[in-house]
Amino acid sequence: MPGVATDKLQTIAYPAAGARPHRRDAESLEPHVIVLFGATGDLAKRKLLPGLAYLEESALAPDIRLVATSLENYTGEQFLAIAREAVDGFGSRKLSDEQWAHFAERVTYVPQGAGPQALADAVIAAERLLGDDVRRLHYLSVPPKAAQSVITMLKDANLVDRSRVVMEKPFGTDLASAIELNDFVHDTFSEEQIFRIDHFLGKEAAQNILAFRFANGLFEPIWNRNFIDHIQIDIPEKLGLDARANFYESTGAYKDMVVTHLFQVMAFVVMEPPTALEPRAISEEKNKVFRSMLPVDTADVVRGQYTGYREEDGVARDSDTETFIALKVGIDNWRWAGVPIYLRTGKKMAEGQRIISIAFKEAPRTMFPPGSGVGSEGPDHLTFDLADESKVSLSFYGKRPGPGMKLDKLSMQFSTQETDSVGDVLEAYERLILDAMRGDHTLFTTAEGIESLWERSAQLLEDPPPVKSYPVGTWGPNAIHQLIAPNAWRLPFERAWREKKSAT
């Protein structure tokens, strides 16, 4: 889609130094020591360190101190240099020297190799500086195998009390390993303390799906198989592997994106109304969706690998890992039986987009004269764009001005960037770290939900169809068209999103 920078956050200014309201006034949250494992990794650099620096500076978070740790044997200064570069390079908001110094004072680095006691000492020292009733938030930004040794370390360091733990996906790689991982974690932490993060659910636009569906009488009566023809959740990425070949080779698009992000977003789109917007009620409804999902049938799956993937550093020359996947799933319940849901995601594709598209059933066309154009551009669609500038659009046929009855596909669009609250948008990780500090599980994933998804993925994991190659910069292997026929992929868009007009 031309002209839409979906990978770019708005630049939002930090609150001016000194202008920060007293934190406890906003919400009484206990001060927190955040222990960040994997503090020099890709995710920490791109999202977590910039996000924590912003939260520390904003009025939203309580007083925090960061104990950063990783396998690297860095000194405190070396780590801070890396962290500053990350915050400056990847943060969407600019940080003054004074603001950086304020944040840096609150950071300690401990190499993981220094052992549990050194980590405990650093946490206790940070807690003393924060006063009473300090809580701990352990952020495990590490691969699944490393998560187990980190949990053992936290137990050995006696850091489980008063703590919550944020875990990164993948949560296992199949049903057996997910159960094993969940059992292992439950030996140390109770489910209450565990926050399995799916950053897609932290995106403003994903939460807007809930607001849109459940706060409006207009769409509620038509949100079912009688009116909706099919649904697409399409998340192509232009990005490649960056430095993540090691992680990606053993994960692939299905485990990296579909189980964690696409299915979770799908649950927001199709779930029954929860009795309240609170964690237990929402998890219950999401888990019902996963239980009603038909097992993924390999005949409905296209796996792809971009040309040149096997030549990438860290990738096996005969790798069978998919860098692309498209699939059709069904939810076998009263609301959705017979409505196909198409999912697609992949690396090094033509565009970076994150859309959910709801296609409505078509109206009879007979009353319109031949050549009027009715129906010629597909059905009416409701489209959610999960970009940081969250957007919603409704497309429909309308009359082209002038003589006769010619129809054009028109659209009504909404974008957060056109509102006055655009500056309040929180980056997904910021929102979710705050929620975890508040103990709010609403946007996190449960052990039960993940296990049902692995169960429904068993056939695909055991007997995946062969990967088909696709050229870099395309929409995937040709087989994607057969998969969706007689429907068609919405992307690339025929009509661009309306761009914000600058004020004149």
Query: In the complex, which residues of this chain contact ligand BG6 (CB under 6 A)?
Result: 199, 237, 239, 256, 354
169 is in an annotated binding site: yes
With H, G, I as helix, E, B as strand and everything else as coil, classify residue 188.
helix
Cα(286)–Cα(449) distance, integer angstroms:
7
Name beta bridge partners: 37: 69, 140
CB of 411 to ligand BG6, least distance (A): 23
* Angle made by CA atoms 254, 166, 105, in degrees to the nearest 5: 125
* Secondary-structure breakdown of the chain: helix, strand, coil percentages, each rounded to the nearest 5: 40, 20, 40
44 is in an annotated binding site: yes
40 is in an annotated binding site: yes
Cα(461)–Cα(255) distance, integer angstroms:
10
286 is in an annotated binding site: no
**Residue found by looking up tokens 């070949």 in the block:** 245
Nearer Cβ to ligand BG6 (256/380): 256
107-111 sheet: strands from edge to edge: 107-111, 64-70, 32-37, 135-140, 163-167, 194-196
| Cβ(351)–Cβ(333) below 8 Å | no
Nearer Cβ to ligand BG6 (229/388): 388
Nearer Cβ to ligand BG6 (106/347): 347
Active-site residue identified among 32, 138, 261, 441: 261
312 is in an annotated binding site: no
Nearer Cβ to ligand BG6 (93/354): 354
Cα(233)–Cα(223) distance, integer angstroms:
16
Nearer Cβ to ligand BG6 (288/354): 354
CB of 237 to ligand BG6, least distance (A): 5
Provide DSSP, 103-172. HHTTEEEEEGGGHHHHHHHHHHHHHHHH-SS-EEEEEE-S-HHHHHHHHHHHHHTT--TTEEEEEPSP--
CB of 4 to ligand BG6, least distance (A): 14
CB of 204 to ligand BG6, least distance (A): 12
38 is in an annotated binding site: yes
CB of 246 to ligand BG6, least distance (A): 13
199 is in an annotated binding site: yes
Question: What size, in residues, is the chain?
Answer: 504
237 is in an annotated binding site: yes
| Cβ(339)–Cβ(332) below 8 Å | no
* Minimal CB distance residue for ligand BG6: 256
Query: Can you read off the two tokens belonging to residue 140?
Result: 């495990």
* Angle made by CA atoms 370, 372, 373, in degrees to the nearest 5: 110
CB of 199 to ligand BG6, least distance (A): 6
Pairing type for strands 228-236 and 135-140 reads unpaired
Nearer Cβ to ligand BG6 (10/224): 10
186 is catalytic: no
Positions annotated as catalytic residues are 261
The annotated binding site for substrate is made up of 199, 203, 237, 256, 347
The annotated binding site is made up of 38-45, 169, 199, 203, 237, 256, 347
